[in-house]
Chain A
Amino acid sequence: MQVLVCVKQIPDPASPSLLDPDTNRLVRPPEQVLDDTDRYGIEVGLQLAEQTDGAVTLLSMGPTGTMQGVRQALAMGADKAVLVDDPALEDSDALTTAKVLAAAARREGFDVLVTGVESTDGYSGVVPQMAAELLGVPALTFARRVEMDGPDLRIERQTASGFDVVLSPLPAVLSVTAGAVEPRYPTFRGIMAARNKPVDTLTAADLSVTSDPGQRIVSVAPAPERQAGEVVEDGGTGHLRIVEFLESARII
């Protein structure tokens, strides 16, 4: 089975996020890390490939930089990576991103295209659905459990009140939630092997995609801040202070 997994390199979430004041774009340092939420998709992809004697190819769009994030994903066990890096795609919105990923997926061929539910930095949360539409395949979204069932994929799809068990033929797009699986840690051997795995780089023109966002940022402003209120030490009476607070709010 041919498994593709979409991964994204993002600025380290532990350091403060910055917007370029002129373009309002997120500042992306050359050293980007693997989006933590992608580890779940990679793990699901690896498991599906292991069960079916398949292979895992990573797809990633964005500035390659030092490629640290992609190497982290390869170190987990993916076989190769296809990167789409093109300054012409700098302003990409969700739809352009989906067009790029769908075109790359079509070029590679796939049975399952795995993604996270949403990226940590941009979280538009619609790229998987868009890619599925462009590829004319089912979108198995918000999967919290994934397994093969004969030739089909069986997933638990999160709903507002619980989950549905969904059965789908392939090919399909699959978006997995954090917590769906326990992502493996790269082994030392995996880290060494990642250095020599094939990495192809494509441009927007290779995929015949042009970027036309159809939207523009008008302004960025600080949100009104909530003020911190009173802070008390418990000292055995904290619960009484909470009761008083609830009384003053007319809850009790």
Chain B
Amino acid sequence: MVTWVFAEATERGPGEPALEVLSEAASHGEAIAVYLGEASDQALAVLGAYGASTVFKLTGGGDLPAAAAAAALAELVEREAPAAVLFAQTYTSRDVAGRLAARIDRPVISNAVDVAIDDGYAVTSEIFGGTQLVRTAFSGPGPHLVLVRPKSFSAEERGGTVNRVEEYPLPDAGHAGSPQVVDTTVEQAEGPQLGSAKVIISGGRGLGSAEAYSLIEDVAEPLGAATGATRAIVDAGWVPYAKQVGQTGKTVKPEVYIACGVSGAMQHLVGMKDSKRIVAINKDPEAPIFSVADLGVIGDVHNVLPRLAEELRGRD
């Protein structure tokens, strides 16, 4: 069984969500990586370590390469006939997967939280805010296309090396490939990242104002925690979107997730309910967040957070 995994280059080499999917694929048979972007020796070493036996390097293709990458993938899957192509559900991968599906006229199943590689790639996904699990099987011919939500698998180094690299120049996608990136802005500051921090502390509308987000930062600092947010406060412009946790933001799985002034809407829970432990601070005893919290504190964030920050600082 040969499974292909699509991976995009980031500033730090292959993206973590793709490595999660790659190591899962490699634990069930041969895994081949299709890598979009600058493939340094170091990037190839990482792909090998996480289980890729072969790497197809897609090179060239301009600023927004999804259309060209989908065209290249369509040619490659036609030639090599893999059983499946798995994608991590990130922005560019979503664009590539959608375009590829339309191009080769095969379905793509998104929002996978599990893929039964040994059982025809049947996909488990969550609906209704993660309260129900749906298992979907592919009924037509391959390649089966799946978009996997980040953090569904853990990225594990397997200690392998890549033994074949094939470079595949991206074709000219014509009008579809004509958009240009004229500027790039990084909003997510340095420091602990939502994807990897052991502790995440998130704020919601209960903070009351953009300024009050500093209460979150003051607790995060002594804990070395990453800071997150609900969509309500991202849309309100209090914090950048890069901090958003949930269905349309990031999926996180820290050791401890601390939700402050967060109601616990379905679309927020989807992104954090698989955290190992959850703490919630909310002044409404009926807030849905309490039904998933291991520890709930009924109280005002403006009282609890400053005291918590002070207590933690005192311990440093």
Contacts and interface: CB of A to CB of B under 8 A. Distances in A.
Whether chains A and B associate is yes
Contact of B273 (A226, A229, A231): A226
A252 interface: yes
Given A160-B91, A162-B187, A234-B303, A217 B179 contact: no
A126 B285 contact: no
A243 B101 CA distance: 49
A150 interface: no
Contact of B188 (A19, A162, A249): A162
Contacts of A164: 63, 181, 183-185
Interface in B124-141: 126-128, 130-140
A242 B247 CA distance: 27
Interface in A231-252: 231-236, 238-243, 245-246, 249, 251-252
Given A124-B111, A129-B99, A239 B136 contact: no
B122 A218 contact: yes
B6 interface: no
A179 B133 CA distance: 29
A215 B138 contact: yes
Contact of A230 (B292, B296, B303): B296
Contact of A243 (B137, B278, B303, B311): B311
Interface in B60-85: 63-64, 66-67, 70
A216 B139 contact: yes
B78 to A, nearest CB: 16
Nearest to A172: B179
Contact of A218 (B102, B136, B179, B305): B136
A167 to B, nearest CB: 5
Decide if the interface of chain A is mainly helix, strand, loop or mixed.
mixed
Interface in A188-246: 212-223, 225-226, 228-236, 238-243, 245-246
Interface residues of A, number: 81
Given A232-B298, A233-B299, A162 B136 contact: no
A36 B24 CA distance: 36
A133 B103 contact: yes
A217 B181 contact: no
A15 interface: no
Contact of B181 (A166, A177, A212, A231): A166
Interface in A112-141: 117-118, 123-134, 136-141
Contact of B138 (A159, A165, A214, A234): A214
A168 B290 CA distance: 46
B64 A133 contact: no
A214 to B, nearest CB: 4
Interface in A131-181: 131-134, 136-142, 144, 157-169, 172, 177-179
B176 A137 contact: yes
Contacts of B248: 117-118, 177-178
Interface string B171-203: 000111111111111111000000000110000
Contact of A141 (B94, B198, B235, B273): B94
| Top 3 A-B pairs, shortest CB-CB distance | A234-B299, A129-B98, A126-B98
Given A17-B128, A215-B107, A233-B297, 14 more contacts: A19-B132, A125-B94, A129-B66, A129-B102, A130-B99, A137-B176, A158-B241, A164-B63, A165-B183, A165-B185, A213-B139, A216-B136, A222-B132, A246-B223
23 contacts: A19-B132, A124-B108, A129-B99, A130-B98, A138-B64, A138-B178, A160-B90, A164-B63, A164-B184, A166-B64, A217-B136, A223-B126, A225-B131, A226-B273, A226-B278, A231-B296, A234-B298, A234-B299, A238-B299, A241-B297, A245-B277, A245-B295, A251-B255
Interface of A: 17, 19, 24, 93-95, 98-99, 117-118, 123-134, 136-142, 144, 157-169, 172, 177-179, 212-223, 225-226, 228-236, 238-243, 245-246, 249, 251-252
